[in-house]
Amino acid sequence: MVDTQNIVFLGLGLISGSLAMALRRSGWQGELSAWGPREPSLEQGLNLGVIDRYDLDFDRAIENADVLVIGAPPMATGELLGRVLGWIQRSDEQPIVTDLASMKGWVVERALPRYARFVPGHPIAGSENSGVTAARPDLFDGREAILTPEDSTDPEAVAWVTAMWQRAGSRVTTMSVADHDAALAASSHLPHMLAYALTKVLADDPLQPMHHGGGALRDMTRIAASDPVMWRDVALTNRSALIAAMQSVEQELARLRELIAAQDSAALEDYFALCRSIRRGHDAVLNPMVEPDEVSAKGVSDQTLEEQGSS
Amino acid sequence: MVDTQNIVFLGLGLISGSLAMALRRSGWQGELSAWGPREPSLEQGLNLGVIDRYDLDFDRAIENADVLVIGAPPMATGELLGRVLGWIQRSDEQPIVTDLASMKGWVVERALPRYARFVPGHPIAGSENSGVTAARPDLFDGREAILTPEDSTDPEAVAWVTAMWQRAGSRVTTMSVADHDAALAASSHLPHMLAYALTKVLADDPLQPMHHGGGALRDMTRIAASDPVMWRDVALTNRSALIAAMQSVEQELARLRELIAAQDSAALEDYFALCRSIRRGHDAVLNPMVEPDEVSAKGVSDQTLEEQGSS
């Protein structure tokens, strides 16, 4: 890939800012610029060296872009995509366009007029902190970036976006829009809803159990601090897949609760042993490049686990 | 407190081993020894310098103990406690006895014959890794250790166990057995059940969503790798409080799912914003960044004096 293209980020936040930093780290030669609705964020990005330049005028911002990366919450991504594709239809330009949104079906439905050089994308990385000040160049290291091109998508554009994510540190996979949305509803959107529901239940408890939390509670509620607008949009735009995933986990919880009520000791031990083995089997994919300080921060939970077998 | 007492750990694993290491770090002068059912663990503990000595003979192991710390999964803790209290009744010895189990009601019911120098305890710290090889001297730094003494408990024994945990780096609080079990069902046992149910649902999904997980899924499933025997015992021995906590979160999940189905955008954003604010409000307690000096210094002992007054 040529690394002299000019990339314009439409919206500058945690993910788009981290992508810019990761590309910079890789020695990117082209210009990295941004447009956004709020000047302070753009100014912060400029001051932090995340971008080379910003422009508050939409048309002027995108006119020399080789590549447009839409980095906004889902609802805003849908709007910006329509705006960009309309502009492209009226112009002679053929920039590559990609997005970062957590669901792809809703976005693809809004990618009108149809444009072969739009490559729907979703990097599986993030943080409960939002905004460009939380951006970091290593956010994507070892993490998956999923692309969901369709048969009509320009293969050259797909190859370009693939190479971009690889330069940013990601491993790139492709899948269908429907598989992406169902898999991510389960692997990402559902965990967020669990963290939210858990946090709400604990906050409503007069015993204030959140004051007696250890590492388990820290980890199980961390993402409840995520951006409310972003997650409102995710819940609404991947609604049916998320509802199905939530129903599955509600049923599973009820099943587990019934095993506990029935005092089915053997079934419980089997259940938990299976989960230990599943989780350990996914350790590499879930902890792709763990830094030493992260290991010590993550290695603590509030179980009192002792040697077994005294009986 | 005198730091020349001999402490015998009954069961040597992650928590008891970490306690031994933390006491050693604090300059403990007395002997730290262990009994356990499996020699390899004890030998590892000895080789790692966690303990000074071990004995495979139960009666001989405990005969010169000033303090007995029972460090075993709940079911085994119940058995060991009965064995220890029976031995004490037959002997002239009056050692302080404490335990580390995650639920207190079930343990206290098994503390027979009644013994005023048994102080039920629960350090809110742990790891999904088990065994003495996972022990670390800083495991308790800044973490809460909860004691649940009763009116009949010897105040001198409570003060001793309090001081021991402070030396290990913990801040010590006391509460009733019932409050402890309900609060910990919500803050610790429930999060583990959520991690288990989530892991099981994802493993059963033909799309293999666990292959597409990021930091959210990493954190939300980490504790599903916890020790199956330990968590079987927790689920069984804190059954009614845990079932109530699970029902609360199931109802909350259904409520949240209904907001999504109803596309109630404003309510969802409010819900998520509230959770962000709750979680951020508990950041200090969930991510204690306490300097070792501060831990053993006065803030903690002041609190303890106050707590002792109310016990």
Asked whether residue A212 is assigned to any structural domain, the reply reads yes
Q: What is the pLDDT of residue A133?
A: 96
Same domain for A140 and A235: no
Asked whether residue A140 is assigned to any structural domain, the reply reads yes
Asked whether residue A1 is assigned to any structural domain, the reply reads no
Give per-residue burial for A18-30: e unless 16+ CB within 10 Å, then b. Answer: bbbbbbbeeebee
Q: What is the pLDDT of residues A190-206, one digit of tens each?
A: 999 999 999 999 999 99
* CATH number of residue B170's parent domain: 3.40.50.720
Q: Which residue of B has its CA nearest to A146?
A: B212
Which residues fall within 8 angstroms of residue B132, CB to CB, at 6 or more apart?
A307, B12, B13, B14, B16, B17, B41, B44, B45, B48, B50
How many other C-beta atoms are found inside a 10 Å radius of the C-beta of residue A40? Answer: 10
Report yes or no: B119 and B147 within 8 Å, Cβ to Cβ. yes
B260 contacts in chain A (CB < 8 Å): 235-236, 239, 242-243, 246
B77 contacts in chain A (CB < 8 Å): 306
Count of the separate structural domains present in chain B: 2
B40 touches A: beta carbon within 8 Å: no
Same domain for A161 and A70: yes
Same domain for A66 and A43: yes
Q: Which of A124, A142, A175 is the last residue of a domain?
A: A175
**3-class DSSP assignment, residue A170:** coil
Structure-derived torsion over alpha carbons of residues B200, B202, B206, B210, reported in degrees to the nearest 10: -130
Report yes or no: A40 and A132 within 8 Å, Cβ to Cβ. no
Q: Which residue of A has its CA nearest to B195?
A: A220
Q: Which residue of B has its CA nearest to A202?
A: B186
The complex's ipTM works out to 0.87
A252:B197 CB<8 A = yes
Q: What is the pLDDT of residues A95-144, one digit of tens each?
A: 999 999 999 999 999 999 999 999 999 999 988 888 999 999 999 999 99
Cα-based distances in Å from A226 to A162, B272, B311: 27, 8, 40
**3-class DSSP assignment, residue A240:** helix
Structure-derived torsion over alpha carbons of residues A127, A131, A136, A140, reported in degrees to the nearest 10: 50
The pairing of strands A96-99 and A67-70 is parallel
Q: Which residue of A has its CA nearest to B36?
A: A310
d(CA B93, CA B66): 9
Question: What is the DSSP annotation of chain B?
Answer: --S---EEEES-SHHHHHHHHHHHHTT--S-EEEE-S-HHHHHHHHHTTS-SEE-S-HHHHHTT-SEEEE-S-HHHHHHHHHHHHHHHHHSS---EEEE--S-SHHHHHT--S--TTEE-EEES---SS-SGGG--TTTTTT-EEEE---TTS-HHHHHHHHHHHHHTTPEEEE--HHHHHHHHIIIIIHHHHHHHHHHHHHHH-TT-GGGG--HHHHHHHGGGGS-HHHHHHHHHHTHHHHHHHHHHHHHHHHHHHHHHHTT-HHHHHHHHHHHHHHHHHTHHHHS----HHHHHSHHHHHHHHHHHHH-
CB-side neighbour CA atoms (13 Å) of A161: 30
Q: What is the pLDDT of residues A65-78, one digit of tens each?
A: 999 999 998 999 99
Report yes or no: A27 and A57 within 8 Å, Cβ to Cβ. no
Same domain for B30 and B114: yes
Asked whether residue B2 is assigned to any structural domain, the reply reads no
Q: What is the pLDDT of residue A2?
A: 65
**Residue B79 has which token pair?**
């058995």
B76:A186 CB<8 A = no
A249:B286 CB<8 A = no
Report yes or no: A100 and A122 within 8 Å, Cβ to Cβ. yes
Banded model confidence at residue A302, pLDDT cuts 50, 70, 90: very low
Q: Which of A175, A201, A229 is the last residue of a domain?
A: A175
A247 contacts in chain B (CB < 8 Å): 257
Q: What is the pLDDT of residue B303?
A: 31
Same domain for A171 and A139: yes
Nearest chain B Cα distance for residue A222, angstroms: 7
Cα-based distances in Å from B124 to A68, A302, B239: 48, 5, 19
The pairing of strands A144-147 and A121-123 is antiparallel
Same domain for A158 and A38: yes
Tokens 């639920």 belong to B103
Asked whether residue A299 is assigned to any structural domain, the reply reads no
Report yes or no: B32 and B9 within 8 Å, Cβ to Cβ. yes
B48: left (phi over 0), alpha (psi -120 to 50) or beta: alpha
B169: left (phi over 0), alpha (psi -120 to 50) or beta: left
Work out how many CB contacts closer than 8 A connect A with B: 412
Structure-derived torsion over alpha carbons of residues A221, A222, A225, A226, reported in degrees to the nearest 10: -120
Give yes or no for a cis peptide into A113 (omega within 30° of 0).
yes
Same domain for B205 and B147: no
Same domain for A186 and A40: no
B178 touches A: beta carbon within 8 Å: no
Q: Which of A175, A196, A221 is the last residue of a domain?
A: A175
Q: What is the pLDDT of residue A172?
A: 98
Query: Count of residues for chain B?
Result: 311
**3-class DSSP assignment, residue A10:** strand
A191 touches B: beta carbon within 8 Å: yes
- Residue B201 C-alpha from the chain's centroid: 28
* CATH number of residue B245's parent domain: 1.10.3660.10
Which of these, A307, A286, A221, lies nearest to B54 by C-alpha position? A307
B246:A224 CB<8 A = no
At residue A273, what is the residue type?
A: A
Same domain for B158 and B199: no
Banded model confidence at residue A308, pLDDT cuts 50, 70, 90: very low
- Domain with B212, as residue range(s), is 180-286
Tokens 């019911």 belong to B109
What mean pLDDT is reported for chain A?
91
Q: Is the dihedral of CA B22, B27, B30, B32 positive or negative?
A: positive
Asked whether residue B1 is assigned to any structural domain, the reply reads no
Banded model confidence at residue A298, pLDDT cuts 50, 70, 90: very low
A310:B76 CB<8 A = yes
Tokens 């290991």 belong to A295
Which of these, A72, A39, A70, lies nearest to A53 by C-alpha position? A39
pLDDT-flagged residues of chain B (< 70): 1-2, 289-311
At residue A246, what is the residue type?
A: M
B186:A199 CB<8 A = no
Which of these, B100, B56, B103, B65, lies nearest to B84 by C-alpha position? B65
Asked whether residue A302 is assigned to any structural domain, the reply reads no
**Residue B303 has which token pair?**
């609190």
| Mean pLDDT, residues A169-198 taken together | 97
The pairing of strands B144-147 and A67-70 is unpaired
Same domain for B295 and B169: yes
Same domain for A189 and A128: no
Same domain for A206 and A129: no
d(CA B174, CA B36): 29
Asked whether residue A298 is assigned to any structural domain, the reply reads no
**Residue A211 has which token pair?**
């004051």
The pairing of strands B96-99 and B118-119 is parallel
How many other C-beta atoms are found inside a 10 Å radius of the C-beta of residue A149? Answer: 21
**Residue A9: DSSP 8-state:** E
- Residue B9 C-alpha from the chain's centroid: 15
How many other C-beta atoms are found inside a 10 Å radius of the C-beta of residue B166? Answer: 22
